[in-house]
Structure 1
Amino acid sequence: MMSGAAKKETLVANVQPEPASHTVLGYGPDGYHKIAYTQWGEPDPERTVICVHGLTRNARDFDKLAGKLSANHHVLCPDVVGRGDSDWLKDHSHYTLDQFASDHRQVIARSGANAVDWIGTSMGGLIGIVLASEKKSPLRRLVINDIGPFIPVPAIRRIKDYLCVDPAFDSLDEAEEYFRKIYVQTLPMEDKDWQHYTRHGVRLDEQGKYRLHSDPKIGETIKRYWAFMHINLWSRWDRIECPVLVIRGEESDFLTESTAQRMATTGPKAEVITIPNIGHHPSLQSEEQMAMITDWLDRNAI
């Protein structure tokens, strides 16, 4: 029979530790703004990983993967400006890929590393493509989760209905129901993963209501021009020289099979892993999906 002390130790061991929280200043047309990030593991200029989330999410989506990587890496997970604990910009038209890339150059500089590994989900992958394409880029290895240099208009059309919204929830259960609906393609997710998504995906307002932990205006430009807008970064893709892993949901409308095939045969000639029965995007919460990343990093050690 397990003693009380042993039970306590087991419970503590099963609790995900909290990362350290820090900030760094970014700069743009609105002046300076705060970029928040979580830190896992001890500073190590030789083994630093930066994980960047998707369009409407935040740094805490990477808690599970970052915790695993932190056993032998220094891991930073930023909140892209307008999300999580980072500042909101005064002018929503300044939420651009160029601004996000500029901010993350500051995060890389703060890390103290001359070279970093980058793991980017959706929008985080686009930022990674931009940074990896630059001359003498500090990105040593790039992992892209379900995004590519080209995004078709239908994919942008699909997400426009939950951009620029500001729902109010009376409870975390109500908020969780909302997240389960709009992120229905993000798999696999256990109940505890949805609870984690929800807990860190909302904030309390002055009236005690739960609201999304992001600026409702982050997608204003996308929503306004969705009918003809697409993203094309092929010219940048062709300039990338570091090893690249692409993880793709088989049913993804953001990263189509044809785009993934082109990514595998042009530019850095990425290794592509397609996960069946998943849309946009793989959650990176399962042991299997996390192992795809850790194993690839080990195989491509530089």
Structure 2
Amino acid sequence: MIEAQIKSVQCMSPAGLHKMAYKEWGDPRNRNLLVCVHGVTRVSDDFDRLAAALSDAYRVICPDVAGRGRSDQLAMPQLYHLPQYVGDMVTLLARADAEHVHWVGTSMGGLIGMVLASLPDSPVARLVLNDVGPALNPQALARIGTYIGEDIRFDSLDDGVRYIREISTSFGPHGDGEWRKLAADALRQGKDGRWMKHYDLRIADAFRTLTEEGARQAETMLWRAYDAIRCPTLLLRGADSDLLAPETAHAMTLRGPKARLVEFAGIGHAPTLMHDDQVAVVTDFLLG
């Protein structure tokens, strides 16, 4: 197995140019491409376990969405929205010279994949949506919005681990080493030695400014996108998820690409794809 390399691609927004970093696993000459995209406050390193498991079959690319991880922040916070993210991914796929791609997206990463897969002549040939759909529970969005923009600093990584465990209990049971990785990936150490969140806190603005009317319009747009998807689709759901309601997940099995639904007991939002049973479900779908 070839170890992951850190690379970047230059993307454009209405405010100018920005760098999007990504981790690349496997043989760069492999024409079988898998793209894995993280959730709203997470990073590319979330997919280390899945990418390592699939790097013999695929060239695996895991980007840090703009404003997160190793990628540049956007000059204007109002640009942190799906159209910009989808445009950045099209640039990434052009850099990868990808004609066809398999896609795994957790939460926000799933929404990006959903929109991209819905476009005419989309390169997405197989799609995995991890605990996300066109209709999102407003109470869950409010829960996420309460902590996204908080500028919290930690004197030690151990303090940061305790914080990540507290706000991420919905990830389900994980070992101490797994929690430490989840925290170390999502935090960064500042020049003063303290640990802080590894993303632009201004991504919280979208949650603060979301109105009821705006939420309704977004849901209508996302259902329209979902119904336009034609590729085989797998929908993963934490059985205790407060973001993806059971009735939404069921509706997704009946319309659009008629996704195959797999639920994981004892987990909320969202399955981390770090455990063997979750990795096996994704692998069987992608390679089956």
Shorter-chain TM-score bucket reads: over 0.9
Q: 8 Å contact 1:186–1:278 — kept in the other structure?
A: yes
Letter in 2 for 1:222: F
Q: 8 Å contact 2:142–2:207 — kept in the other structure?
A: no
**What's 1:10 paired with?**
none
Shift of 1:112: 1.8
Shift of 1:115: 0.2
Partners of 1:203 and 1:116 lie apart in 2 by 31
Moved over 3 A (4+): 226-229
**What's 2:273 paired with?**
284
Partners of 1:219 and 1:118 lie apart in 2 by 26
**What's 2:26 paired with?**
41
Letter in 2 for 1:207: D
**What's 2:167 paired with?**
182
Q: 2:283 matched to 1:298?
A: no
Q: How big is the alpha-carbon RMSD for the aligned residues of Structure 1 and Structure 2?
A: 1.5
**What's 1:8 paired with?**
none
Partners of 1:108 and 1:90 lie apart in 2 by 23
Q: 2:48 matched to 1:72?
A: no
Shift of 1:45: 5.1
Shift of 1:155: 1.5
Shift of 1:134: 0.2
Shift of 1:44: 4.2
Partners of 2:263 and 2:35 lie apart in 1 by 23
- Give TM-score, length-normalised by structure 1: 0.91
**What's 2:261 paired with?**
272
Partners of 1:229 and 1:211 lie apart in 2 by 31
**What's 2:194 paired with?**
209
Partners of 1:243 and 1:298 lie apart in 2 by 12
SS of 1:168's partner is coil
Which consecutive residues of structure 2, in runs of 5 or more, have no partner in the other structure? Answer: none
SS of 1:203's partner is strand
Alignment of structure 1 residues 87-106 onto 2, 5 Å: 87-106=72-91
Partners of 2:211 and 2:236 lie apart in 1 by 25
Q: 8 Å contact 2:133–2:249 — kept in the other structure?
A: yes
Partners of 1:17 and 1:189 lie apart in 2 by 27
- Give TM-score, length-normalised by structure 2: 0.95
Match of 1:218 among 203, 208, 211: 203
Q: 2:161 matched to 1:150?
A: no
Letter in 2 for 1:119: V
Match of 1:137 among 122, 133, 136: 122
Partners of 2:37 and 2:283 lie apart in 1 by 16
**What's 1:56 paired with?**
41
Larger Rg: 1
Q: 8 Å contact 2:3–2:26 — kept in the other structure?
A: no
**What's 1:21 paired with?**
6
**What's 2:69 paired with?**
84
Shift of 1:264: 0.3
Letter in 1 for 2:44: A
Give the structure with the larger helix fraction. 2
Shift of 1:289: 0.4
Kindly, what percent of the aligned residue pairs are identical? 41
Deviation string, structure 1 residues 78-136 (Cα, Å, up to 9, x no partner): 00000000001121111011100000111111122200000000000000000000000
Partners of 2:179 and 2:98 lie apart in 1 by 33
Partners of 1:23 and 1:102 lie apart in 2 by 15
Partners of 1:148 and 1:182 lie apart in 2 by 22
Q: 8 Å contact 1:45–1:112 — kept in the other structure?
A: no
Q: 2:228 matched to 1:243?
A: no
Shift of 1:61: 0.4
Shift of 1:266: 0.2
The change in CA–CA distance for 1:194 and 1:18 in structure 2 (over 3 A counts) is farther
Letter in 2 for 1:145: N
Letter in 2 for 1:238: D
SS of 1:238's partner is helix
SS of 2:109's partner is helix
SS of 1:169's partner is coil
Q: 8 Å contact 1:64–1:285 — kept in the other structure?
A: yes
**What's 1:169 paired with?**
154
Shift of 1:225: 2.6
Q: 8 Å contact 1:189–1:283 — kept in the other structure?
A: no
Letter in 1 for 2:264: I
Shift of 1:203: 1.4
Q: 8 Å contact 2:117–2:124 — kept in the other structure?
A: yes
Letter in 1 for 2:14: P
